[in-house]
Amino acid sequence: MRTNSFIKKLVVLGTVGSLLAPYCFYPKLHAAERFEIHFDGMSIPISIKELIDWSNGAEEKNSELASWLNLLGFKERKGLAKFLNTPLVRDKSMARQILRSWSGRKLLDEVSDLILMDEDSTGESVLDTLEKLLNEKDEVTTFDLLNSLSVKAIHIDLDGWIEVANNWRSEFNKQQKLIADLVLIDGSSIKREEINVLPLEIKETEYELISLKVSHRNEPLDLEVWNPSSRKKIRKNWVLLMTGLGGDRNHFNWLARSLSHNGWPVVVLDHPGSDSLALEALVKGRLPLPGAEVLPERVNDIDSILNAKKSGKIDVSVENVVLMGHSLGALAAILASGVKIDDQLESRCQKVLDNLSLSNLSSLLQCQLIDITLPEREGIENLSAIVGMNSFGSFLWQKTLENKINIPLFFTGGTFDLVTPSISEQLGLLLALSSSPLSRVLLIEGASHFSPIRVEGQMYKSKGKDLFNLGESIVGYHPLSVQSLLAFEIISFLEKLEENKSIPSNTNLTKGELKFHVLDRNIIEKLVKIQ
């Protein structure tokens, strides 16, 4: 065990060596006197002057330093130096706005605990230096940043970095293990379903675009109201569909059209301040990165639309509603249902943020809710169900919490999702919140957090043309096939919901080339136990 631990440290030492590489190629650099690398109770000081002499070809007289330089991987310093001169910041306006956001500052705070500038554990020296560089240059490299830090010593907590690396590896392993566990639990071969998925394009249903003035916003809400063209199928519910952070209602026309074609009235909305226009403003450096601070207004948006429907301003004939959303839109739907966040969130988040885990980026948004006051509410009258695509919120509620949602929940996720990983988010969220036997999780192999988003040009190319510019490396396996499967399974859930029945729970299913699983609470509890 001791040998394996030491080998891990040497691997990370090689990575840390990338931080030292530019000092060997730029003899005029005197921004800091030394690096100090800390691990296993030891502190290794590395003089920058000695590194300069060594890089200039001087014979190494300090045999101890020579040994450490060898361990730090300086034989590869040319490649590392090239890497460090690649732009760290390409757009200074957007970078400023990200750094000023809650999430950006929180990440900087956590990194500052592992790379300490003198005694500054707040990250202020790094932030101030980066701000100054952004005032002077259009692009900033990692070398520019290190070269400009006015500190005596840069302390690197190697043990801390190893812990972070282990946390990342553990999360990735859980995702990979999940599929193998599903096979073990079921114990049977893959079941091929011979039913057809929905067609990619349904053209005969159109929507009405309306502008709704609301008291809590200076600007109106833009809504798409999709009413079925045929009244042959009389549904008991209508659907309120919400986009995720930075999303556009056009991204979900495919789903609204499919639902409307099958008889459900649908209302789709944009949320000003956290929609695609807000994302565009971030890219252009006009507004900061939006985060969980937008949730109170999003919940108020939901209330405003429900009130407008009740007063007749929105022409939808049926009364019962299904809240449906992607990512942050799904979390807004859950919060609008009236469920209360428990008082242990801060203690759970302290542990999460200390781990600096980037394998579940939604944890940052969830933990931001510690500082946010949500509207007081009792729930929604006539709420039939919640459907959440790539939903999250597992940190907000304890698994033993009695304050559960007593309506059916249908969460969908993918095994390629590192923003809201299914094992901790969709599966964990159902265990924490659902008390209904009709609740299910749809898990699609190869689908990512962005698979449900359809952008311009996606029908004909591997990537879209809008602001997201989503390619295969982001959306995972063929997004159109995933969207078709999502529409089919969501419609199946809604049809069974109106009969007060559950969709069958099955593992190892296929439709076309897609492999997927429909999981109930019993299967999810077994999966969590063996993780």
Tens place of pLDDT per residue across the chain (531 aa): 444 444 344 344 444 344 334 434 443 444 556 667 776 677 777 665 565 555 555 555 554 555 655 555 554 444 334 544 566 555 555 555 556 555 566 666 666 666 667 666 666 676 677 777 777 777 777 666 666 767 777 777 767 666 666 766 676 677 778 888 887 776 554 454 544 555 555 555 688 999 999 999 999 999 999 999 776 678 999 999 999 988 888 899 999 999 999 999 999 998 887 666 666 655 555 656 678 889 999 999 999 999 999 999 999 989 999 999 999 999 999 999 999 888 888 888 877 766 655 557 788 889 889 988 888 888 898 999 999 999 999 889 877 666 788 899 999 999 888 789 898 899 999 999 999 999 999 999 989 898 998 876 555 444 444 545 555 556 677 888 999 999 999 999 999 999 999 999 988 888 888 899 999 999 999 888 776
Structural domain spans, the chain: 196-530
User: What is the side-by-side order of every strand in the sheet holding 266-269?
Assistant: 191-192, 506-511, 514-519, 440-444, 409-414, 383-389, 320-326, 237-242, 266-269, 221-226, 208-212
Of 100, 160, 107, 150, which Cα lies nearest the Cα of 293? Answer: 100
Q: How far apart are CA 446 and CA 176, in angstroms?
A: 11
The CA distance from 271 to 248, in Å, is: 9
How much is the pLDDT for 70?
A: 57
- pLDDT the model gives residue 192: 47
Give the C-alpha separation, 152 to 308, whole Å.
Answer: 62
- Residue 12 contacts by C-beta under 8 Å, 6 or more apart in sequence? 158, 161, 162, 165
Q: How many Cβ atoms are within 10 Å of 441's Cβ, its own excluded?
A: 28
| CA separation for the pair 101, 97 (Å, rounded) | 6
Question: According to the model, what pLDDT value does residue 378 have?
Answer: 81
Q: What is the DSSP-derived secondary structure letter of residue 275?
A: B
> Which pLDDT score is estimated for 17?
40
126-152 residues labelled b (16+ CB within 10 A) or e (exposed): bbebbeebbeeeeebbbbbbbbbbebe
Q: Which residues contact 40 (CB under 8 A, 6 or more apart)?
A: 9, 159
* The CATH fold of domain 196-530: Rossmann fold (3.40.50)
CA nearest neighbour of 430 among 492, 473, 461, 386? 386
Report strand pairing: 221-226 vs 237-242: unpaired
CA distance 419 to 244: 12
Judge contact between 251 and 455, C-beta under 8 A. Answer: yes
Report how far residue 181's alpha carbon sits from residue 172's, in angstroms, rounded to the nearest whole number: 14
Which residue in 289, 279, 330, 281 sits closest to 468, CA to CA? 279
Q: What is the largest CA-CA distance in the chain?
A: 89
Q: Indicate the residue type of 182.
A: L
User: Angle 102-112/345-354 helices, nearest 10 degrees?
Assistant: 60
Inter-residue contact 353 to 106 (CB < 8 Å) = yes
**Burial letters 385-420, b for 16+ CB under 10 A, else e:** bbbbbbbbbbbbbeeeeeeebebbbbbbbbbbbbbb
- Confidence at residue 427, expressed as pLDDT on a 0 to 100 scale: 94
DSSP-derived 3-state class of residue 30: coil
Residue type, 141: T
